[in-house]
Amino acid sequence: MPTSPVFLDNKSAIAALFQQALATAFPALMASDFKIEVEKPKNPDHGHFAVNSALQLAKKLGKKPCEIADALVTALAPSDLLLGTPEIAGPGFINIRLSLSAETRVIKSVFENADNFGRTNQGNNQKVLVEFVSANPTGPLHVGHGRAAAIGDTLSRLLDWQGWDVSREFYYNDAGAQINNLALSVQARLREKAGVESAFPDGGYHGDYIREIADRYVEKFAHDKAGGELDAVRAFAVDYLRNEQDLDLKAFDVSFDRYYLESSLYSENLVDKTVAHLIANGKTYEQDGALWLKTTDYGDDKDRVMRKSDGSFTYFVPDVAYHVNKWQRGFARAIVELGADHHGSLARVRAGLQAMQIGIAAGYPDYVLHQMITVMRGGEEVKISKRAGDYVTLRDLIDEVGRDATRYFFIMRKSDSQLTFDIDLARSKSEENPVYYVQYAHARICSVLAQWQTQGGGDTSTLKAVDHSPLTSKYESDLMRALADFPETLKHAATELAPHIVAVYLADLAAKLHTYYNAERFLLDDEKLKLARLSLILATAQVLKNGLTVLGVSAPEKM
RNA sequence: GCGCUCGUAGCUCAUUUGGAUAGAGUAUCGGCCUCCGAAGCCGAGGGUGGUGGGUUCGAAUCCCGCCGAGCGCACCA
């Protein structure tokens, strides 16, 4: 597990400074443990940072906000962080400007930490399990799975960067009725090929891939052209599709530490044990020949059947058993990335876990839901239906749009907003994908540095220890503060389980770089200024690269 | 009918968890390459944040009602 010194950002440093001033100015307040918050004003006229504590404390202290702000500023210890004296503005905000030396500090920190800049030890190496994709092996992965894969993988990377010990897991529902459907569908195609009269099963899968599987089956099992051996057909179809899915995921640069088979819950008796435990806890009752779980004791709106009158279990029982198993494997924290159409099951799985009474925390597991994707083709919405065989596969997307653009597209929006994927646009105008904007910023910097080297500049590592005092322009100040925001941004994204925050940040950082590039020149005659600027953009390239790495996107030197 | 998620510029979406004048991209219009990559930059127009209340110094953000959208509401998975 890579570690790095935590970069004490300017924001925290300022918060500490004001916390001390608060203690000096209002000693009596210490008992109530008020915490100073430092924020970044949207309006540049309001300085680099702002403190609004005076407004929040007005009522508590029975004083006017302006008086409190004044007392705080007066009590501030001298610091080389600050440029001049903070201003008191509006109803009682304190606006702060950073000194040049405080702003340039981040460049050194970027070089010291390099590929680890932005990492923290917050997770303290605790185990966390991230479950995602978990597609049934009944068809190829489609765009929805792509979104799940991109989000789940990025969440995993984010948590890794926060110092968690992350395990990625894929849960295969290989024991249910859908697998049977798959087998029957393949069998129907086999019979068709063999000229045996038979009807296609109700609810069967109509996609072309079913015929493909049938063709492959006959190649391997020439003696069973009509698919009479259903078990063999089933096993073959599942193996075939699992392999296909693995290839899709590999092309997407997503890998898992473990594939957990639903069937193993049965073969290891975990479902029976879970049910027995719930019965023993008195959380169940018999009614109408079925066994019910009192999920209403834990906030569900009605009780749920666990064991049907025909003796089989409903789907959520193995889900509960699976999560008990996660807990018992030592994952005190678990995150499940799911399509929003599954949200109905969250309450009952959590209720089941609570009813176990084995110390599982009430919110276990965390869920991250992503909304469905509307796919447009030819100006019309494509209704995704695996059963009808109408959908767009993840592989198609990767082949035609590219891995980087596909990943970025799925990540850049908040996961619980619905998004529209226009296939034609993605195919014909893939260069408009915002990921290129970010990658271009990186490539641009590399290009400038390469030219500096051909002019005899030497190794870029010499740029890491130059004097940064010439960096006095507004563009440089904006860029340096953006770099300094990176660690906090990652932390925020990890806390919120919201990968899109990283994408939004990178777009902003790239914009600042492009603006700077167009406003100033780097390869100048003024040696000191040249080196300082090159050093700044070298640090920027490092941060762009680190951010793209967290998203699983490459940072090319040329495009 | 009940539940979950949501409603921000023509379109696609942000808004750092309650802060000051709500921002990007795209589309439209107008500028910028004899000069480090124009996959870029600069500027203009475009908004009663679905709507009506409430909470407070302060609300797109929190609470309630209504309107609208998506999804889920089987002894299916």
Average pLDDT for A426-440: 76
A534: tokens are 């090159």
| Range of weakest confidence among A318-332, A399-413, A534-548 | A399-413
Q: Which residues of A394-403 are buried (b: 16+ CB within 10 A; e: fewer)?
A: bbbbbeebbb
Average pLDDT for A474-501: 92
Q: Write out pLDDT tens, residues A168-188.
A: 999 988 877 788 888 999 999
| Range of weakest confidence among A339-353, A384-398, A476-490 | A384-398
Estimate in Å the CA A475 to C1' B30 gap, whole number: 25
Q: Write out pLDDT tens, residues A103-142.
A: 999 999 999 999 999 999 999 999 999 999 998 888 888 8
Chain B: nucleotides under 7 Å from a protein CB? Answer: 2-6, 12-17, 19-26, 35-42, 57-58, 70-77
Q: Write out pLDDT tens, residues A202-254.
A: 778 888 889 999 999 999 999 999 988 998 999 999 899 999 999 999 999 99
- For nucleotide B6, the protein residue with its alpha carbon nearest to C1' is A417
- A433 or A310: which leads in pLDDT: A310
Of all nucleotides, the one whose C1′ comes closest to residue A415's CA is: B5
Question: Do residues A208 and A103 lie in contact, with contact meaning Cβ atoms separated by under 8 Å?
Answer: no
A261: tokens are 């088979």
Alpha-carbon separation of residue A52 from A14, A70, A230 (angstroms): 13, 12, 70
Of all nucleotides, the one whose C1′ comes closest to residue A432's CA is: B39
Estimate in Å the CA A38 to C1' B28 gap, whole number: 40
- How high is the pLDDT of residue A41? 87
- As a whole-number percent, the residues of chain A with pLDDT over 90 amount to 53
Alpha-carbon separation of residue A36 from A53, A57, A82 (angstroms): 6, 10, 17
- For nucleotide B36, the protein residue with its alpha carbon nearest to C1' is A448
One-character DSSP codes across A176-205: SHHHHHHHHHHHHHHHHHHT---PPPTT--
* Three-class HEC string of A33-55: CCCCCEECCCCHHHCCEEECHHH
Distance from CA of residue A73 to its chain's centroid?
40
Estimate in Å the CA A466 to C1' B35 gap, whole number: 26
* Three-class HEC string of A468-498: CCCCCCHHHHHHHHHHHHHHHHHHHHHHHCC
Nearest to A359 by CA among A383, A324, A390: A324
- For nucleotide B57, the protein residue with its alpha carbon nearest to C1' is A55
DSSP H or E run through A380: strand A380-382
Distance from CA of residue A419 to its chain's centroid?
16
Estimate in Å the CA A155 to C1' B53 gap, whole number: 40
Of all nucleotides, the one whose C1′ comes closest to residue A94's CA is: B20
- How high is the pLDDT of residue A344? 79
One-character DSSP codes across A382-396: E--BTTTTB--BHHH
Question: Do residues A405 and A430 lie in contact, with contact meaning Cβ atoms separated by under 8 Å?
Answer: yes
DSSP A397: H
Of all nucleotides, the one whose C1′ comes closest to residue A443's CA is: B37
In terms of average pLDDT, the best of A344-358, A365-379, A486-500, A530-544 is A530-544
Estimate in Å the CA A524 to C1' B36 gap, whole number: 9
- List the beta strands (DSSP E) in A400-527: 419-422
Average pLDDT for A83-97: 89
- How high is the pLDDT of residue A390? 55
Alpha carbon distance, N-terminus to C-terminus of chain A? 32
Estimate in Å the CA A256 to C1' B54 gap, whole number: 49
Alpha-carbon separation of residue A553 from A253, A407, A410, A449 (angstroms): 9, 7, 12, 22
pTM across the whole model? 0.92
Q: Which residue has the tokens 């008020």?
A: A34
Estimate in Å the CA A515 to C1' B29 gap, whole number: 22
- For nucleotide B35, the protein residue with its alpha carbon nearest to C1' is A521
Estimate in Å the CA A334 to C1' B61 gap, whole number: 28
Of all nucleotides, the one whose C1′ comes closest to residue A289's CA is: B75
Alpha-carbon separation of residue A498 from A45, A159, A165, A502, A555 (angstroms): 30, 11, 19, 8, 21
Estimate in Å the CA A56 to C1' B48 gap, whole number: 29
- List the beta strands (DSSP E) in A188-326: 258-261, 284-287, 290-293, 304-307
Of all nucleotides, the one whose C1′ comes closest to residue A522's CA is: B36
Query: Could you give the 3-state DSSP secondary structure of residue A408?
Result: helix
Distance CA A452, CA A522 (A): 9
Estimate in Å the CA A77 to C1' B32 gap, whole number: 47
- For nucleotide B20, the protein residue with its alpha carbon nearest to C1' is A90
Of all nucleotides, the one whose C1′ comes closest to residue A51's CA is: B19
Distance CA A549, CA A559 (A): 17
Confidence of residue A380 (pLDDT cuts 50, 70, 90): low
Q: Write out pLDDT tens, residues A20-62.
A: 898 888 887 765 578 888 888 888 888 899 999 998 888 888 8
Of all nucleotides, the one whose C1′ comes closest to residue A306's CA is: B75
- Beta-carbon count within 10 A of A296 CB: 13
- A533 or A409: which leads in pLDDT: A533
Estimate in Å the CA A504 to C1' B54 gap, whole number: 34
At A212, give phi and psi (nearest 5°): -60, -45
Q: What is the mean pLDDT of chain A?
A: 88
Distance from CA of residue A112 to its chain's centroid?
26
Question: Do residues A205 and A386 lie in contact, with contact meaning Cβ atoms separated by under 8 Å?
Answer: yes
Query: Which residues fall within 8 angstroms of residue A194, CB to CB, at 6 or more apart?
Result: A225, A226, A227
Of all nucleotides, the one whose C1′ comes closest to residue A312's CA is: B75
Burial (Cβ within 10 Å: 0-12, 13-18, ≥19) of residue A180: middle
Estimate in Å the CA A47 to C1' B21 gap, whole number: 15
Estimate in Å the CA A465 to C1' B60 gap, whole number: 45
| Range of weakest confidence among A363-377, A419-433, A510-524 | A419-433
Helix, strand, coil fractions of chain A, as percent rounded to 5 = 55, 15, 30
Estimate in Å the CA A259 to C1' B75 gap, whole number: 30
Of all nucleotides, the one whose C1′ comes closest to residue A518's CA is: B41
- A420 or A60: which leads in pLDDT: A60
Of all nucleotides, the one whose C1′ comes closest to residue A65's CA is: B57
Confidence of residue A196 (pLDDT cuts 50, 70, 90): confident
- As a whole-number percent, the residues of chain A with pLDDT over 70 amount to 92
Of all nucleotides, the one whose C1′ comes closest to residue A448's CA is: B36
Estimate in Å the CA A359 to C1' B72 gap, whole number: 29
